[in-house]
Amino acid sequence: MVDYFNSRILLQPSDVPKEWVNILPDLPTPMTPLINPMDGKPAPFEMACAIFPKECVLQQVSEELNIPIPKKLREIYASTYRPSPLHRALGLEKELGIEGDKIKIFYKNESFSPTGSHKPNTALAQAYYASKEGVDTLITETGAGQWGSGLSYGCNLFGIKCIVYMVRASFLQKPGRKILMMSYNGEVYASPSRFTDAGKMFYDKNPEHPGSLGIAISEAVEHSLRSNTSRYVLGSVVNFVLLHQTIVGQETKIQLAKAGVEKPDVLIGCMGGGSNFGGFMIPFVRDKLYGKLPDVEIIGVEPRACPSVCKGEYRWDYGDTAKKAPILKMHTLGHTFIPSPIHAGGLRYHGMAPIISNLYQNKIIKATMHHQTEVIKAALQFARVEGILPAPETAHAIKETIDQALKAKENNEKKVIVFNFSGHGYFDLLAYKEFMDGNLIDYELPSIDIKNALSDPEMPIIDESQF
């Protein structure tokens, strides 16, 4: 008999962390700056503030070990959805034949938020800072729609207009996400669109272009620069977004201790741009770097259709397709890369967060990849025994969790495996229907496509001796 009554580890609203964990001072090698795409030099503070909210720019480069979370923001977190639950996956353990205490599986449930994913953690923060600065409009892109939903929710709370460019493939696959954004007064446009020069380049050639996050970013940045009272914000990749998400990992540490777990053995998260994975694992990375968790294995999971870390190169690249956004040093498949229309729209970005790229290069974390049919199969297995239908992005972490648990079982190992359940899949039902109907197919990114994208003569070359 599975003891479901003791499978959920809860915290009180007063336990919402008071600070975010800033990993920049602890990185094995120094973090590289954002580069101005116009001249190849570090982006001036004034230029960055013309794009992003000022406080976010300051957090992007801060060397403080911990950054205070504003009291007003903590109150909003606590009154709505934080702390989120940590679950012992007893149903999944029984399904895998690992009942008992030798192999334990836990998951941090970020689907508990109003929009069903981890994205409000940073959306609320960015909307809060924008409102304090007198910004009246925030403009962004979204892949699967989780970020667009989170930002629309945050902007509505603070009385700010929200405009979202949604990758066309997801715009068509996930109409529910569009409706949710509009419910929060968000304006949503399929990207590429005809509303920006960056979008028209692709739209005029092919009105049915599937789009990419790189194109949607170009459109959002271009649109944001039309007014002094609008700003561009984003839900992944940059340092301050991962910073805001560290609330997830901090709560997880407290909840594991409450469950009697001193040291987890394996931490797992899906990764597209890197926000949920980064926020989940960064507090543990600090412990690993300080020698408190020397043996913890930290694994990021990508789709085989868009494996920026597993198959890309660590180099300088534009953050967007039209080369309007800052240049970053990161693992990338090339800014001209157009991904296949897999259902895990949030994992279709051509690059990876510089923080995660840095940690991977220094062998602090690992990466792996899976096909979409096998992750959807794992997600259904999870749903049938745990009761929550995962987002296709989250399903990547679940697939790797199952693999790690079965490997430990085969090797007769004692392990505690923890993964971040980054969001539910109730707006992603088409993916599950296609799988059930036998129509879901896998995409394996050909090496020649990566080579061609990375050999583009317009890939940036940055002189690192200047900083």
Kindly state the tokens that stand for 196. 């920006």
- The confidence score (pLDDT) of residue 5 equals 54
Q: What is the CA radius of gyration of the chain?
A: 21
- The confidence score (pLDDT) of residue 433 equals 95
- The confidence score (pLDDT) of residue 6 equals 63
- The confidence score (pLDDT) of residue 341 equals 77
Tell me the CATH number for domain 7-15+69-116+239-454: 3.40.50.1100
- The confidence score (pLDDT) of residue 149 equals 97
- The confidence score (pLDDT) of residue 339 equals 78
- Please tell me the distance from the alpha carbon of residue 162 to that of residue 228, in angstroms, as a whole number: 15
**pTM of the full predicted structure?**
0.95
Identity at 332, one-letter amino acid code: T
- Please tell me the distance from the alpha carbon of residue 246 to that of residue 252, in angstroms, as a whole number: 10
Which residue is it, tokens 């001036």?
Answer: 44
Contact 230, 224 (CB under 8 A): yes
Could you tell me which residues come within 8 angstroms of residue 91 by beta carbon, excluding any fewer than 6 positions away?
2, 4, 385, 386, 387
> Mean pLDDT in each 10-residue stretch from start to end of the chain (467 residues)?
66 97 97 92 91 95 97 97 97 94 96 97 98 96 93 98 95 93 97 95 94 91 93 95 98 97 96 97 97 97 95 94 90 89 80 98 98 97 98 97 98 97 95 95 88 88 90
| DSSP string for 24-73 | GGG-SSPPPPPB-TTTSSBPPHHHHHHHS-HHHHHHHH---SEEEPPHHH
